[in-house]
Each structure stands twice: as C-alpha cells, then as structure tokens.
Amino acid sequence: MGILLWIAMAATRAPNYKRFPIGFVCVFMIALVSKMLASNVVLKKGSVGDSIWAIILGCFIRNVMSFVTKSSILAPWLKVAQQTELYIAISLVLLCIDISVLRPLAPRALFVSWIDTPTLFIVVAYFGWKVLKIDTQTAIIMSGATFICGSSAAIALGASMGVPHKTEMPIAIISIFTIPSIIALPYVAKRMALSATVSGAWFGGCVDSTGAVIAAASIYGDHDAINTSAIVKMMQNVLIGPLSVIMAWAWSRYELQAAYKREEELLKRNENLDDAVVQEQALDDTAGEDSNTPSVKHPRNIHAPSKPKEKAYILLWKRFPKFVIGFIITAVLFNTTISDDAETRTRVNDFCFYVSEWFSTLSFVSIGMGLQLSDIKQNIRSLGKLVTLYIVAQMVDIIVTCVLAWTAFTYL
C-alpha cells in the first residue's frame, strides 16, 4: 500500500516525495494504533471508532512536535505523508457499488437518501452563511458533511471549491459529535417501536459515515437493520460525486464572475482617476498661461495589463473531483467482471471495503495532524458557530429522515 502511494507521489513529483516512506510509516503506525484501540473490547463499548482515535492521536503528535520544535510548521518528512485528499479519494474509489444488492431496496433507499439530502444541504448551508455568519465555503462543507457522508463529503466539497484546508475543523466536529447519535438512535428506535427496516433506513440516512451507520445498526441488533442501513448509506454516498461536480462548476462560475466584477470596478476607478487628472491638468495649463509660469505635467495613469483569466472549463477541470471517474470505473468493473456467484462478489466487496476503511483511517490521521490547538483557541468563536450549525443540521436531519424512512418502508 505504501509502495503504491510512493510511486503515485513520485509520478506527480510531489514536494519532498523522496521522504514519503518515512512519513508514511509514522502515519500508518498511528492508524494501526487507532484501529487497535477501536477494537479493544472495553473501549468499543463507548462506540469510539478508529476515526476518533486517529484524529486524537494525529492531533497529539502534531502539537507535541510543535511544542518540542517551537514551530507550528509540520516537519517536511511528515508533511508529505499528510495526504488527506489522496487517502479519502482512494477510500471512495474502493466503495464498490453492487447493483445486485442495491436493486431490491433501491427505490425506497433512493426515497430516503435523495429526497431530503440535496434540499437540506442547500437550506442549512444558507442558514449557516446568512444567520450564523459563517463563511460560505465552510458552511457548505459543514452542511454537506452532515447530510451526505461525513469526512468523505467534506473533503470532496473542499477540493471542488479549492479550499481543502477548511475541511479539518468541520470533520473533527462531526467525528466527535457522531458518537451520541450512534449510541442514542438505536434505543430511540426501539422505544418508538420502529421496525428493523425502518430503523436501518433511519440510521443510514442520518448518521454521518458508513462505519458509524453499521455501528448504530449493530447496537440495534438486527440483521435486517444492518443490511438496510448499509444500502441506504451506499445510495447516499453516490450523491458525493454529482454534488461535488455541481459545486465545482457553480463555484468556478462564481469565482470567475467575481473576478470580472472586481476588474470592472478597478477599471472604472482608474477611469475616474484619469478624468480627475485631465481636469487638474487643464486647470494647471490655464493657470500657467495666466501667470506665465510653466505648468507641471502630471503623468497619466497607466493601466497594468490584466492577468489573463482561465477559461471556465479549465477552472472546472482543475476543481473537478477526479475520484468520481475512479468511482464510476470501479463500479462498472465490479458489476461487469466479477462473477455472479454471491459468495465471490461478497468476498471481493468485503476486501475492497476493508482496504477502503484503512485509507479512510489514514485520512483521519492526516486531519488530526492538521489541527493546531493554538489556532483553535484563537478561533473559539468560529468553533462555537460550527458546533451550533452541526447541531441544528443534525437535529433537522434526524427528524426529516425518520419521517421519510417510516413512510418509505411502511407504505411504499
């Protein structure tokens, strides 16, 4: 796994790629310890998954190193292995969508996962921007992560808008605050006397990440709930690709329009300045003629040539989430080349999911390494706003998804 990543880093000539093996060993060992802690029988009862441990340990390593070296900059040999976007992209590509498994429940799963998700995503992002005064990009990332698929959606949306550095805090908040949902929702479902399929669809639609969904369904303790929750979450995961592409296109257009508007304002300001200079020159000339004194010539403002802008389609391609292509290719290959034998397909799918979860854990370690506690203290107000937005979004998601799951798996 590390060798293949090193080859990829060398092929793209990433900065300090020759030091990647050293840094990757460190990141991998943190991920390994995180998985060991998450699988501990005693600790597992608290529903603290490997993602939480990975963020905590990654953050701990980062801040200890900063304290020892008296520098907030991560060491180059470790920075090159902090490839959050690469790890999560590989994790998403390996989420093989098995059409034969999805087909029986697809219509109802679509109803639960696709009806409310895009609408609430837009509404809550607008709420965060307009009401809570969170910057637009961070509000979009937090909303997408809450309603779609946690860290995967956050990183995909951050990349599509060209702001991957704004994903770290939303992901950390979501990873921590998901724990109460994992523990509470199964017991709430039983108290409400919801059927196993309705409960599974509910978990799949409103719990953030795939691993957390399976954990919640496992606490509920019914095989049908586990299967239904996994299928609904898979259907919801499919939304990551289209929404990322749409966001890349929309944000690229927004940035281009903003750039053109800024240039027009600058040109207008310069033209007004030129007119003022001409008028002043005329007054000086008149005064010079009257007093027979030479007038002072004011140089005319010379416009610097504007930097040529990228075409919209070029900017879109740069922002386009490339994992979507890999995701589609993997799904096509899995459904066309793997035999129809159920056992074989299950083994291949389970193996891909196992490797996918490893890369996901590596991404959480990288996220933890990006969290500088001193920066968090300085931005405590922004942290409070993000937590508020997440709580509002999660409560809305829980209520709406419960209604949709009950409707879909009771009447459809």
Cα–Cα distance, 215 to 186 (Å, whole number) = 10
Nearest Cα to 174, choosing from 356, 24, 397?
Answer: 397
The pair of three-digit structure tokens given for residue 20, joined into one six-digit string: 């990647």
Cα–Cα distance, 154 to 38 (Å, whole number) = 23
3-state secondary structure of 361: helix
Q: Please report whether residue 282 resides in a domain.
A: no
The pair of three-digit structure tokens given for residue 392, joined into one six-digit string: 């509002």
Range of the domain at 60: 2-38+48-250+313-411
E strand map for 107-196: none
Cα–Cα distance, 278 to 259 (Å, whole number) = 29
Phi, psi (degrees; rounded to nearest 5) at 372? -100, 115
Nearest Cα to 113, choosing from 376, 408, 411?
Answer: 408
Q: Please report whether residue 281 resides in a domain.
A: no
Measured CA to CA in angstroms, residue 311 lies from 144, 192, 234 at distances of 27, 55, 35
Own/partner pairs for 188-194, CB < 8 Å, 24+ apart? Answer: 189/220, 190/220, 194/406
Q: Please report whether residue 228 resides in a domain.
A: yes
Measured CA to CA in angstroms, residue 334 lies from 1, 232, 271, 348 at distances of 21, 19, 61, 9
Neighbours of 362 (CB within 10 A): 29
Q: Please report whether residue 303 resides in a domain.
A: no
Q: Per-residue pLDDT for the chain (412 aa), expressed as one digit of tens each?
A: 888 898 888 888 888 888 899 999 999 999 999 999 988 888 777 767 788 899 889 989 988 988 888 887 888 889 899 888 788 888 878 877 777 777 778 888 888 888 888 889 999 999 999 999 999 999 999 999 888 877 788 888 888 888 888 888 888 888 888 878 888 899 899 999 999 999 999 998 988 777 778 778 878 888 788 888 888 887 887 788 788 888 888 888 888 788 778 877 787 777 666 665 556 665 555 655 555 545 444 444 444 444 445 565 676 677 676 777 888 888 889 888 888 888 888 899 889 888 988 998 898 898 888 888 777 776 788 889 999 999 999 999 999 999 999 999 988 7
* Domains contained in the chain, number: 1
Cα–Cα distance, 117 to 401 (Å, whole number) = 9
pTM above 0.75, yes or no: no
CB 88 within 8 A of CB 356: no
Q: Please report whether residue 108 resides in a domain.
A: yes
Q: Please report whether residue 290 resides in a domain.
A: no
Cα–Cα distance, 170 to 177 (Å, whole number) = 11
Q: Please report whether residue 384 resides in a domain.
A: yes
3-state secondary structure of 46: coil
pLDDT in the model for residue 125: 93
Q: Please report whether residue 90 resides in a domain.
A: yes
pLDDT in the model for residue 301: 46
The pair of three-digit structure tokens given for residue 269, joined into one six-digit string: 């300001």
Contacts with 314 (C-beta within 8 Å, 6 or more apart), sequence order: none
